[in-house]
Structure 1
Amino acid sequence: MGVRNKRAERSALRAAALLAALLALFLIPGCAERGSGSQAPPRERTLPDARLLAELREGGYVIFFRHAATDLSTPDAEEPDLRDCSTQRNLTPEGRRQAREIGEAFRRLDIPAGPVLASPYCRARQTALLAFGRAKTARALLPPDHDPPGPRRRPNLPPGGLPRLLSTPPPPGKNAVLVGHESALREATGTSLPEGGAAVFDPRARESPPSPLKALPPGYWSRLASREKGRRRR
């Protein structure tokens, strides 16, 4: 009888210890997220479209676009000449249409675009020109594997490279537009985008590395413009 009681007592103690550990896991801030891998929804999933549009109309944001659609079966030359588009992977007709639609949607949505910077690659410059009618090339937007390794890797870049561009406030009442490559954005921020996708950054957040307020799929701006047009008619 005494042996059974001792076994029951030990079982009860183990159960109590397990319960205490579980309670600690969920009551101590941060433990539950680390233990289960679940976290509060990122800000990019909780910022409503209407609020994003209202804020973009006020200006003050940096919008990074990955260049529009290309033919992925046609890679860049091993050493592409940035002055010769024939050595590069270029926009398809769909990509050119996609870029024009981005610019048209910005105009319909009254989103003010200030400085427009683009990677020197033809597909990025063409995306910027078709969408916004202008583009200034910026080497900070080059893909990270463009230049060979060594002391001259990615020369003539401003200190901070792409993270600095993402953290630089645009002129008052305007949004800065950057057009570049998925690999450059992923290296700088950990964010990946499909061709024609975009990510919105708030340079006032002073985050390191910068983190997007919202990542947006291709076609987002045109769909948003169509919804706004329908809303105004009601």
Structure 2
Amino acid sequence: MAAAGFGRRFVLALLLLPAFRPGAASAIEVDRERVWALLAKPGHVALMRHADAPGTGDPAGFRIGDCATQRNLGERGREQARRLGEEFRRRAIPVSLVLTSQWCRARDTAALMALGPIEDEPTALNSFFGRPGEREAATAALRQRLAALPADAGLVLMVTHQVNITALTGVFPASGEMVVLKRDASGAVVTVGRLPAP
């Protein structure tokens, strides 16, 4: 009897699942298009976690400016960055400013996207992974940098790290994911969407 009840519940659950028909746009695809459309409008910032870099953190004794001492992009990450840059160009989305952490995996992500000249933004975008005492100061610097952007500026791309993005937005982004922000009328920054890595 219990097995029969389970069978009925299982069939009912299947019937209640959304229908996935060939050619039908999923909710994720619809939202992705909405977020891409936002990126084409002035006043938005794409806060991006660097593309895929196998491992966690950095080796002991790593040095900024010496990529051989750091955790770097893998082939998957390099391909993610190239594909994302191609998608920006395919959609003709102009990028007015590219800012990046000084870590090689962030700078290489920005360079492979090839969307414009890259500027280091160490105070706001450098990682504080393993140094939680730096979180408040880094997040305050990021807020100040965002507040200094003109409200009607073209798209600003900031390539940084998971800890920086999570501290500001509460979002835990995957490698290569973008969290899209916009300043509201009061100057506060609000999260308006997410774009997963291609």
- Report the TM-score range of the alignment, normalised by the length of the smaller protein: 0.7 to 0.9
The higher radius of gyration belongs to 1
Q: 112-121 vs 56-65, which deviates more?
A: 56-65
Q: Say whether residues 1:79 and 2:58 are aligned partners.
A: no
Identify the residue that residue 109 of structure 2 maps to in structure 1: 127
Aligned partner of 1:94 among 76, 90, 94: 76
Change (3 A) 1:176 1:61: same
Distance 1:205 1:124, change over 3 A: farther
Q: Which residue of 2 aligns with 1:24?
A: none
- The answer (yes or no) to whether the contact 1:117–1:179 under 8 Å persists in 2 is yes
Q: How far apart are the structure 1 equivalents of 2:192 and 2:154?
A: 17
CA distance in 2, matches of 1:65, 1:109: 18
Matched residue type, 1:212:
T
SS of 2:40's partner is: helix
With the length of structure 1 as denominator, give the TM-score of the two structures.
Answer: 0.62
Partner residue, 1:142:
126
Greater fraction of residues in strand = 2
In the other structure, the counterpart of 1:174 is 154
- Contact kept, 8 Å, 1:90 with 1:122, in 2: the verdict is yes
Q: 1:91 to 1:49 in 2, by over 3 A?
A: closer
Point out where structure 1 has 5 or more consecutive residues left out of the alignment. Answer: 1-44, 220-234
Kindly state the Cα deviation for residue 72 of structure 1 after the two structures are TM-superposed.
1.2
Tell me how far apart the structure 1 counterparts of residues 101 and 83 of structure 2 sit (CA, whole Å): 20
1:167: how far off?
A: 3.9
Equivalent residue for 2:177, pick from 189, 193, 197: 197
**Alignment TM-score, normalising by the size of structure 2:** 0.72
For the structure 1 residues 70 and 200, does the alpha-carbon distance in structure 2 shift closer, same or farther, using more than 3 Å as the test? Answer: same
State the distance in 1 between where 2:91 and 2:50 align.
Answer: 21
**Alpha carbons of 1:168 and 1:215: their partners in 2 closer, same or farther (altered >3 Å)?**
farther
RMSD: 2.8
Tell me how far apart the structure 2 counterparts of residues 147 and 84 of structure 1 sit (CA, whole Å). Answer: 20
1:170: how far off? 4.8
Instruction: Give the deviation of 1:58 after TM superposition.
Output: 2.6
Specify every segment of 5 or more residues in structure 2 that has no aligned partner in the other structure, as ranges: 1-27
Shift of 1:206: 4.5
Is the contact made by 1:62 and 1:170 (CA closer than 8 Å) also made in structure 2? no
Q: Match for 1:64: what amino acid?
A: L
Corresponding position of 1:217: 196
The separation in 1 between residues aligned to 2:185 and 2:97, in whole angstroms, is 20
1:23: which partner in 2? Answer: none
Q: Residue deviations 1:58-112, cap 9 Å, x none? A: 3220001100011116x51223210100111000111111101111100111111
Residues 70, 48 of structure 1: alpha-carbon distance in 2 compared, 3 angstrom cutoff: closer
User: What residue is the counterpart of 1:41 in the other structure?
Assistant: none
Q: Which stretch shows the higher mean deviation, 58-67 or 132-141? A: 132-141
Evaluate the alpha carbon distance shift between residue 111 and residue 63 of structure 1 in structure 2; reply closer, same or farther with a 3 A threshold: same
Q: What is the match of residue 22 of structure 1?
A: none
Q: Which amino acid aligns with 1:56?
A: L
Contact 1:128–1:134 (Cα < 8 Å) also in 2: no
1:26 aligns with: none
Whether the aligned pair in 1 keeps the contact of 2:35 and 2:194 (CA below 8 Å) is no
